[in-house]
Structure 1
Amino acid sequence: MTPESKQELGKRGEQVAVTYLEAEGMKVIERNWRCRHGEIDIIAEDGSNLVVVEVKTRSSRSHGSALESVSPAKLARLRMLAAKWLTTRTETYKAVRVDVIALERFAGDFALRHVRGAI
């Protein structure tokens, strides 16, 4: 059995996050949206709110925890990306929220932490 690549681990983590968000009652409307300024991992609706979700997945803490790896600059960029995404849509939302889902996988299982309104 070969070790899982970073890309494979990231894709599995994003799928775990999508499954979790849907179980929490959110509607995932887009994944991996890209523009020239960056990427949003998951875009979801939580009632009348738009939620932009950054997913960080780690298989060890050698470079810090998954949550610690999301910098204030990254959160600010996500807010800017959310504004750009909204310019491509006709829907309106009551509020826009940036969430972080931090996943750490040890011994095959994922531990999930969801931070709502990370900024």
Structure 2
Amino acid sequence: MATTAEIGRRGEDVAAAYLEARGYRILDRNVRFLREEVDLVAFQPTARDDGGMIVFVEVKARSGGGFGRPEDAVDAAKQRAIMRVAEAYLHERRLIPSPTRFDVVAVHFGRGEPRVEHFENAFGYFV
């Protein structure tokens, strides 16, 4: 039986591969600010090649349905924490005012291949 931490790490790996297959570039993983963390920071180029968007991604993985839908675990408190990490990340790297959004990737493990649901702009933008 896999531990919660192992399921989380596997979920992050699956989410990163999923995003990369869709043209995103993973910039960072497990970015921390104080005691808070965001799982993935990605860059999504635009089709017009006029820049792109920085995407902060919270990954939630589940191996069963007993704890509800993974995306529901990203509550208001978690959203505020992710926004604080994002603000620090952008400030530290002098990326303000880059277009930025917040996504959630839910990974469902079961029999066979993991099922991935990607919720773009799950809870807001920074511009």
TM-score by length of 1: 0.91
- Deviation of 1:35 after TM superposition, in Å, equals 1.8
How many equivalent residue pairs? Answer: 117
Contact 2:105-2:116 at 8 Å conserved across structures: yes
Contact 2:37-2:81 at 8 Å conserved across structures: no
Match of 2:19 among 18, 21, 39: 21
Q: Percent of aligned positions with the same letter in both sequences?
A: 33
Contact 2:31-2:85 at 8 Å conserved across structures: no
Mean Cα deviation higher: 25-34 or 87-96: 87-96
Structure 1: runs of 5+ lacking an equivalent:
none
Instruction: State the match for 1:10 in structure 2.
Output: 8
- Deviation of 1:92 after TM superposition, in Å, equals 4.9
Instruction: State the match for 2:122 in structure 1.
Output: 118
SS of residue paired to 1:28: strand
SS of residue paired to 2:64: coil
TM-score by length of 2: 0.85
Off by >6 Å, runs of 4+ in structure 1: none
SS of residue paired to 2:121: coil
State yes or no: 1:96 paired with 2:94: no
CA RMSD of aligned residues (A): 1.4
